[in-house]
Amino acid sequence: MLRTIREIKKHSMGKKKTVFVSGNFNVIHPGHLRLLRFAKQCGDFLVVGVHADQANSLTLLPENLRLEGVQATNWVDYAFILKDPPEEFIRKFKPKFVVMGQEHEKEINAERAAVESYGGKLVFSSGEVSFSSLNLLRDEFKNLNFSSIVKPKDFPGRHGFSLSDLRKIIEKMKGLRIVVIGETIVDEYITCDPLGMSQEDPTIAVTPIAKNRFVGGAGIVAAHARGFGGDVHFFSIVGKDPSAELVRTHLKEHGVNAHLYEDDSRPTIRKERFRAHGKTLLRVNHFHQHPISKDIQKRILKDLSEALEDTKLLIFSDFNYGCLPQPLVDEIIALCQAKDIMIAADSQSSSQVGYVSRFHDTLLLTPTEREARIATGDFNAGLVVLAEMLRTKASAKNVLLTLGSEGLLIHTATSSKETWHTDRLPAMNTAPKDVSGAGDSLLTCSSMALAVGANIWQAAYLGSIAAACQLSRIGNIPLTANELLMEIKS
């Protein structure tokens, strides 16, 4: 028992409000989830004791399986096999709160005397009613739904390539040296249960039940590139805050070589998305939008110049929050031109305004229609004319104009300066779950394909498959080459 308590204290890292729950947990059901969620809300660190097989005749499953079920829930910080009577463990461990189901309140509880002996508190509750299964929510974030992806068969034939050609392109991506630069964003997905309309004012009332945090923005572009097999160096700005530590840990776990520059004048950009029943109800952005200092620009340029040695591709992933001032962009482009490095760029303008055309002389631009119209100042031209206007203004070789549910317009220059080729790909995912990460995966996959020798038609098709895969789950989870290969084979 004492060894277990020492282990718990090691994992809790000094958190004072510990909460303890014990039980058989034969099969984890919604009632258990409600109880554990309530217990977690009572303190900072939730410990669960799963009764050992010999300790209770009411156990139906082996203790190791019951323990695995408890450990798989989001709310539990530490779970173990409890071989001693609960009251004896409580006296030794001395948790701040002990939580028991409401049905035990009228019984004689040995736990009460144990808790009161050191001034703790015994709480009875079965938790609030919630019809959201946390395990299903986890699947929604992680699992790809390939059944919703439909690949057009006529496009490859029209442009003279096969799916086996795409598999070869993916194989060539392994080891490709890439530099990614742009804003890092921490995306927080707060899943809620909708309670209904407030009776005090016309406001939708919700209660949060789970939070998932991801590294987004240019960070997910770097992680995608690594997942596709690239050797990735990532340059970005963070604040001095816990979100910055999350970014560092996340990128290290995914094998990205991160060059993160702390800026005292801004927090790490953070976006909260409140969701219910698969829909986003509200997004709250936390950021400062002023340009980074000239001193930081000089440091980035010096380090990036060294990283560009043997680099084949540089990706600008711009969100217009001040990380990429124009003088810095121009100097980076000049460096790439001197070293014959391919450039791809995206400049997102959803709630903010930016000009994707400022990334000039690129191999690839991937704007939305709105971003293209902002960059050209034309809100009336047809799509093909719009794409050509942007391509000409930015001196770009290729433009992939993203059209949401209408798919993708591919626009490329020919050897003759007076002509161009255009084609369209429909949206491949027929049941998207989360549209926020599609553009990042398209940019990453398409530009990497071009960098290893694919033509624009092959690159657009592969990028569209990557975007469709990303749309199949919620949150910015990096895609992998194996996931692309699985979808191509299906």
Residues with Cβ < 8 Å from 401, sequence gap 6 or more? Answer: 367, 368, 369, 372, 383, 386, 387, 408, 409, 410, 411
Q: In the predicted model, is pLDDT for residue 180 greater than 70? A: yes
186 and 78, same structural domain?
Answer: no
| Residue type (1 letter), 138 | R
Run of H or E residues at 222: helix 218-227
Give the burial class of 490: count Cβ atoms within 10 A of its Cβ; 0-12 exposed, 13-18 middle, 19 or more buried. exposed
Domain boundary among 130, 149, 184: 130
Asked if residues 484 and 400 have their Cβ atoms less than 8 Å apart, the reply is: no
Q: In the predicted model, is pLDDT for residue 144 greater than 80? A: no
Which of 453, 230, 459, 221 lies closest to 348, judged by CA? 221
* Buried/exposed 249-259: b ≥16 CB within 10 Å, e otherwise: ebbeebebebb
Instruction: Please compute the mean of the pLDDT values over residues 304-316 and round it to a whole number.
Output: 96
Domain boundary among 81, 115, 130: 130
Alpha-carbon Rg for the chain in angstroms: 27
237 and 295, same structural domain?
Answer: yes
Q: How far is CA 11 from CA 8, 33, 243, 354, in A?
A: 5, 22, 21, 45
161 and 124, same structural domain?
Answer: no
Q: Residue 61 maps to which CATH number?
A: 3.40.50.620
Q: In the predicted model, is pLDDT for residue 352 greater than 70? A: no
Count of C-beta atoms within a 10 Å radius of residue 457: 19
153: helix, strand or coil = coil
Greater model confidence, 52 or 132: 52
Which of 9, 37, 10, 5 lies closest to 21, judged by CA? 37
Domain count within the chain: 2
Q: Look at 52-61, 235-244, 404-413 and tell me which has the smallest mean pLDDT.
A: 52-61
Domain that holds residue 11: 2-130
267 and 380, same structural domain?
Answer: yes
447 and 410, same structural domain?
Answer: yes
Q: How many residues does the chain have?
A: 490
424 and 465, same structural domain?
Answer: yes
pLDDT digits (tens, 9 = 90+) for 43-64: 999 999 999 987 665 666 788 9
Q: What is the dihedral of CA 62, 65, 66, 70, to 10 degrees?
A: 170
142 and 80, same structural domain?
Answer: no
Which of 221, 240, 243 lies closest to 232, judged by CA? 221
477 and 342, same structural domain?
Answer: yes
Crossing angle of the two packed helices 481-489 and 163-172, in degrees rounded to 10 = 170
Greater model confidence, 353 or 201: 201
Instruction: Please compute the mean of the pLDDT values over residues 472-481 and round it to a whole number.
Output: 88
Greater model confidence, 430 or 334: 334
Q: In the predicted model, is pLDDT for residue 201 greater than 50? A: yes
Asked if residues 474 and 210 have their Cβ atoms less than 8 Å apart, the reply is: no
Instruction: Please compute the mean of the pLDDT values over residues 246-262 and round it to a whole number.
Output: 97
Which of 72, 75, 59 lies closest to 23, judged by CA? 59
- State percent of the chain over pLDDT 90: 64
* Buried/exposed 392-431: b ≥16 CB within 10 Å, e otherwise: ebbebbbbbbbeeeebbbbbbbeeeeeebeeebbebbbee
Distance of alpha carbon 261 from alpha carbon 475, whole angstroms:
25
Run of H or E residues at 412: strand 408-413
Q: In the predicted model, is pLDDT for residue 96 greater than 50? A: yes
270 and 212, same structural domain?
Answer: yes
387 and 448, same structural domain?
Answer: yes
Tell me the two tokens of residue 275: 């969701």
Q: In the predicted model, is pLDDT for residue 131 greater than 50? A: no
63 and 211, same structural domain?
Answer: no
Q: In the predicted model, is pLDDT for residue 353 greater than 80? A: no
Domain boundary among 83, 110, 130: 130
Count of C-beta atoms within a 10 Å radius of residue 229: 19
pLDDT classification of 379: cutoffs 50, 70, 90: confident
The predicted structure's pLDDT at residue 102: 78
Instruction: Please compute the mean of the pLDDT values over residues 60-77 and round it to a whole number.
Output: 86
Max avg pLDDT among 67-71, 280-284, 481-485: 481-485
Q: In the predicted model, is pLDDT for residue 74 greater than 90? A: no
Q: Residue 252 maps to which CATH number?
A: 3.40.1190.20
Q: In the predicted model, is pLDDT for residue 137 greater than 90? A: no
89 and 156, same structural domain?
Answer: no
Q: In the predicted model, is pLDDT for residue 399 greater than 60? A: yes
